[in-house]
Amino acid sequence: MAQIKHSRQREAIRIFLMSRKDHPTAEAVYAHVKEEYPNISLGTVYRNLTFLVDNGEAIKVPCDDGSVHFDGNVEPHPHFQCRKCGAIIDLDFDGTKCENALNKAAATDFEGIIEGNVTFFYGICPECRRENS
Amino acid sequence: MAQIKHSRQREAIRIFLMSRKDHPTAEAVYAHVKEEYPNISLGTVYRNLTFLVDNGEAIKVPCDDGSVHFDGNVEPHPHFQCRKCGAIIDLDFDGTKCENALNKAAATDFEGIIEGNVTFFYGICPECRRENS
DNA sequence: AATAAACTAGTAATAATTACTGTTATTATA
DNA sequence: TATAATAACAGTAATTATTACTAGTTTATT
């Protein structure tokens, strides 16, 4: 029922998220949007990030290290986190086959309903790898 | 170097974790161990959970909903979370094959190092399924 | 038993997120 | 275009999960 009204701040947050290949945290979004709207509040950022996620315009990426990142690319795709620098990186391959196989395997002898799965990769990112060698 | 000393509290926490099929949160561990050690402090629970995880005696399970659970079963095995009640459940199947296939696929055209991956399943747990139908 | 260091309880501090409140911006309508 | 209704905002306070600190207690060692 509740109508949705346009807002400059929300738009700025969306634009920023979509323009980014890295996966900013709420704090990072705040820091950036603040340049355009100096007195935007952190609450507004959180409220709108949640809004975007709920409306399928962004994905919430909770990581193993406890940090929460946001992704403007809503096409299903796997994520990778660097064990060293913590960066979240998109992996560009189609894991659909494996995903389906996994869902099937998981559903065997399981009385509940498997709706899907998320695979999270970890290791060393290209940059840290270069530095280290 | 630092020597490790035995402690009743830590032992109680480990025993409790291992005895559990569900995956208690720090708070749940606290609530339980408190029955035996009424003035154990929450800090002690956190410190020892971290200790157990660091020493390979427990696994930290950070979930999509932001909650953090702990698992006394350190054998690698996939987890499932119910979208309705939030329960974490162990899935009893061997996904090693798929896991390896995924790692291989992910490594293609990736300049970093893929060390591994964690697959997290979601859907409706057996109990919620029964209730709903 | 005496000693040293790890561990604890209790409390304070921090960090991330959510809730609240009075004001502002947006949209629908007159 | 002005008015009215309300979604969204800024600013702040509150909440939650977790970590840090400190003085006292346990544990292991001699």
pLDDT of residue A2: 79
Residue of B nearest to A78 (CA): B106
Q: In terms of residue numbers, what domain contains B116?
A: 76-133
In this structure, are residues A29 and A70 in contact, taking their beta carbons and an 8 Å threshold? yes
Q: Are residues A33 and A92 in the same domain?
A: no
Average pLDDT for chain A? 93
Question: How many other CB atoms are there within 10 angstroms of residue B100's CB atom?
Answer: 13
Residue of A nearest to B100 (CA): A98
Last residue within a domain, chosen from B24, B57, B74: B74
Check pLDDT > 90 for residue A76.
Answer: no
Cβ neighbours of residue B132 closer than 8 Å, sequence gap 6 or more = B84, B124
Last residue within a domain, chosen from A47, A75, A103: A75
Check pLDDT > 80 for residue A133.
Answer: no
Which residues on chain B are in Cβ contact (under 8 Å) with A95?
102, 105-106
The residues that bridge with A60 in the sheet, in sequence order, are A70
In this structure, are residues B104 and B80 in contact, taking their beta carbons and an 8 Å threshold? no
Q: Are residues A95 and A133 in the same domain?
A: yes
Cα gap B129→B127, rounded to integer Å: 5
- Residues B30-48 have a mean pLDDT of 98
Region of A10 on the Ramachandran plot (φ > 0 left; ψ -120 to 50 alpha; else beta) = alpha
pLDDT of residue B1: 66
pLDDT of residue A107: 95
Q: Are residues A23 and A63 in the same domain?
A: yes
Check pLDDT > 90 for residue B96.
Answer: no
Q: Are residues A9 and A62 in the same domain?
A: yes
- Residues B38-63 have a mean pLDDT of 96
Chain B interface with A: residues with Cβ < 8 Å: 60, 62-64, 66, 68, 78, 80, 82-83, 89, 91-93, 95, 98, 101-103, 105-106, 108-129
What are the φ/ψ torsions at residue A58 (nearest 5 degrees)? -160, 165
pLDDT of residue B94: 86
Cα gap A20→A17, rounded to integer Å: 5
Q: Are residues A62 and A90 in the same domain?
A: no
CB spacing of B102 vs A119 below 8 angstroms = yes
Q: Are residues B53 and B90 in the same domain?
A: no
Higher pLDDT, B38 or A83: B38
Pairing of strands A113-124, A79-82: parallel
Kindly report the CATH number assigned to the domain that includes residue B19.
1.10.10.10
Kindly report the CATH number assigned to the domain that includes residue B105.
3.30.1490.190
Q: Are residues A39 and A89 in the same domain?
A: no
Amino acid at A79: H
Q: Are residues A81 and A131 in the same domain?
A: yes
- Residues A34-59 have a mean pLDDT of 97
Question: How many other CB atoms are there within 10 angstroms of residue A7's CB atom?
Answer: 12
Please report how the helices B42-54 and B26-36 are oriented relative to each other, as an axis angle in degrees rounded to 10.
Answer: 110
Mutation target among B71, B113, B118, B122 for the A interface, most CBs of A within 10 A: B113
Q: In Å, how far is A36's CA from the nearest CA of chain B?
A: 30
Written as six digits, the tokens of A123 are 């290791």
Q: Are residues A62 and A115 in the same domain?
A: no
In this structure, are residues A20 and A31 in contact, taking their beta carbons and an 8 Å threshold? no
Which nucleotides of strand C come closer than 7 angstroms to any CB of the protein? Answer: 5-12, 16-20, 25-28
Q: Are residues B103 and B89 in the same domain?
A: yes
H/E stretch holding A54: helix A42-54
pLDDT of residue B90: 93
Cα gap A21→A80, rounded to integer Å: 13
pLDDT in tens, A91-130: 988 888 888 999 999 999 999 999 999 999 999 999 999 9
Count up the domains in chain A and report the number.
2
Q: Are residues A125 and A88 in the same domain?
A: yes
Last residue within a domain, chosen from A33, A55, A75: A75
In which band, very low, low, confident or very high, does the pLDDT at B132 lie, cut at 50, 70 and 90? confident
Q: Are residues A92 and A71 in the same domain?
A: no
